[in-house]
Amino acid sequence: MKNFILFTVLLTFSFHWQGKAQTLNQPANWPNTNWVLDTIAHTGWGTMYIDANPTVDTRFSYNDYNTGLESHDAIAAESPVIDLTAAHNAGENYIKVVGDYVYNNHDSSEYLAIEYWDADASSWKPWYQFPNQDTQGAPQHDNYCSAPHQNYVTSGLNISGFSVTQLSGFKYRLIYNDDPSGGDGWNLGFCFFSPTIYSQNMDNPHFTLSVNPDCANSQFFVDVEISDLGGSNSVTVFDDQGSATQQLMATGTVTFGPYPDRTNVTFTITSDDNSIYSSTDHIQYYCPPSNDTCDGAETLTVTNSCNPIVGTNEHTTDSGAGNPGCASYNGGDIWYTFTVPNAVGDTLVVETNSVSESDVYDTGLAVYTGNCNNLLLVECNDDEDTGQYFSKIIISNPNPGDVYYVRVWDYDNVDVGQIGVCAYAPHLAVNYLTVNDFNFYPNPTQGTIRWTATETPSHLSIVNISGQVLYEANKPESNVIDISKLPAGVYMLHVTIGDRQGTFRLIKE
């Protein structure tokens, strides 16, 4: 889809460029000795691996991979001064650069962009950043200029407010920085072909989208901020969800929504003076789980064996509780809390477990005392001593009535899915359920069972003989459990009601 949109933009550009002469239409004409190759930064023992220098070659190409490890590099090809006064006086206040390039991107820390010179501030300003992704068919390490080229057209730079000095002292540069933070990079490379800079009197409107969540109602609103009307007297904003259109005659923000959680909404801003000038973007929002923060921690019931509650780290955020200090925490945590029961014994265990068909297989676990405004770390655990990738923390001699908070995340926040979490005390004195408290039928069953109870169970789970959780519900709304997809065999039905527990043998025929 992105390639199609780019192609459409290029066709539009070609039509207008050929149909109307621009005041400014200046090819770079590489090789061009009026251009400057600027080696902005280079550290390390090796030399910069410059494949093509636009002052003497028809290309600008750099290979960061061959420049080597333990090197920070930034390099730019800088144009001569280009006086924009005539374009400005002609009312052509939108400046663009068009050209071809090849790029093999290594990671999101790289910066490949076009910047312009602000003669008033005597500094370079951002104009257009290339996507941190490979162009199609980009070579892995070498010969970037020999690969298929991809077209680009920058966003229109609005010069209507430029001073006389900014207009007359204008220039631009193509710049690459392997790590703008100054760290060492050992990335890949690029090749630019000779670009052209031109002016036009109108441009596509510029806008940004931002979300205002309303997760209490499983919905969200979207603010559409129009920063540039592209030379139009007015623009119209509409979405693809059937909302009423909104018109603006000046820059500003309009709000759309609400939209149901997870809706992917596309917005289009169209010039009312010439509908060919139009911009499109989309946004989607996912409400995080309710226990995404400490304040929303889900309650764990301490039992005498591990009966996991199944949670998910899908669309979680960084709770802001700081780095717990283990298991490569990188955000995406979920929270639980429990109160130590009476007659708990001398040991209480908190652990994570795998969930069938979940992509999460390596977790981190931290346990705290205190409260959400003043958390005191008890322990942070990466993996169990058994060599598994799930976590376990043992609390010795816990005090009845003490409150603990449990924090769980995926190692490095890479994989997303369900995670089992439990808190149990092996020597906990338990009040057991009787058939008068809880009953279910039929047993054996070929598909479904129905249960009756004196009150709604706080937790139900079905596990196989290996201890794998196959079904789980907290405060179930229905008294019907469908196990028709389970293989025939013997299972255990674990039930918790208040401070009472029970385990019942369940047979699937």
CA dist., res. 270 & res. 322, Å (int)? 44
Domain limits, CATH 2.60.40.10, in the chain: 206-284
The secondary element (H helix, E strand) that includes residue 10 is helix 2-19
CB 492, CB 443: distance < 8 Å: no
CATH 3.20.20.370 given to domain 2-200: no
C-alpha distances out from residue 465 to 33, 282, 462, 493, Å:
78, 48, 10, 11
pLDDT value, residue 8: 33
Q: What's at 303, amino acid-wise?
A: T
CA torsion angle 160 166 169 171 (round to 10): -60
CA dist., res. 336 & res. 331, Å (int)? 16
How does pLDDT run along the chain (509 residues), one tens digit per residue?
233 333 333 333 433 443 345 899 999 999 999 999 999 988 877 788 889 999 999 999 998 888 876 788 899 999 999 999 999 999 999 999 999 999 998 888 899 999 999 999 999 999 999 999 999 998 887 888 999 999 999 999 999 999 999 999 999 999 999 888 887 777 788 999 999 999 999 999 999 999 999 998 999 999 999 999 999 999 999 999 999 999 999 999 999 999 999 999 999 999 999 999 999 999 999 999 989 999 999 989 888 889 898 999 999 999 999 999 999 999 999 999 999 988 888 999 999 998 988 999 899 999 999 999 999 999 999 976 545 688 999 999 999 899 999 999 999 998 999 999 999 999 887 777 777 889 999 999 999 999 999 889 988 888 887 667 888 888 888 999 999 989 999 888 888 887 778 888 899 99
Domain limits, CATH 2.60.120.380, in the chain: 294-424
pLDDT value, residue 435: 74
CATH class of 206-284: mainly beta
Query: For 295, phi and psi rounded to 5 degrees?
Result: -60, -25
Q: Taking the domain 431-508, which CATH number applies?
A: 2.60.40
CA dist., res. 105 & res. 140, Å (int)? 9
Domain limits, CATH 2.60.120.200, in the chain: 2-200
CA dist., res. 421 & res. 83, Å (int)? 66
Query: pTM here?
Result: 0.65
pLDDT value, residue 107: 81
CA dist., res. 33 & res. 113, Å (int)? 22
Beta-bridged to residue 366, according to DSSP, are: 380, 407
Strands 36-42 and 157-158: unpaired
Query: How many C-beta atoms lie closer than 10 Å to residue 234's C-beta?
Result: 12
**How crowded is the C-beta side of 445, counted as CA atoms within 13 Å?**
19
CATH class of 294-424: mainly beta
CA dist., res. 81 & res. 78, Å (int)? 9
CA torsion angle 82 84 87 88 (round to 10): 170
